Amino acid sequence: MVRPMKKWEYLTAPVLIHNTKMILDNFGADGWELVQVLQGATPEQLVAYFKREKQ
């Protein structure tokens, strides 16, 4: 049996350090899975990369 290949969509979003949990929880509630977090333009900013399966 051949299963169809999953298709993904991706999202890049800025995340402020002082509000990280709430922001990540909101994306998670919308079905986004956190893939990676990198430092943004300043030490107070982060850039989060998310993915979720396309419907």
Q: Any idea of the CA torsion for 47, 55, 5, 3, to the nearest 10 degrees?
A: 140
The reported pLDDT for the residue numbered 17 is 84
The reported pLDDT for the residue numbered 52 is 98
pLDDT per residue as tens digits for the range 1-55: 888 899 999 999 998 888 889 999 999 999 999 999 999 888 888 999 999 999 8
The reported pLDDT for the residue numbered 49 is 98
- 1: burial class by Cβ within 10 Å (0-12, 13-18, 19+)? exposed
* Cβ within 8 Å of residue 38, ≥6 positions away: 46, 47, 49
The number of residues in the chain equals: 55
Q: Compute the distance between CA of residue 2 and CA of residue 14 in angstroms, rounded to an integer.
A: 38
Q: Compute the distance between CA of residue 5 and CA of residue 30 in angstroms, rounded to an integer.
A: 22
The reported pLDDT for the residue numbered 18 is 83
The reported pLDDT for the residue numbered 35 is 98
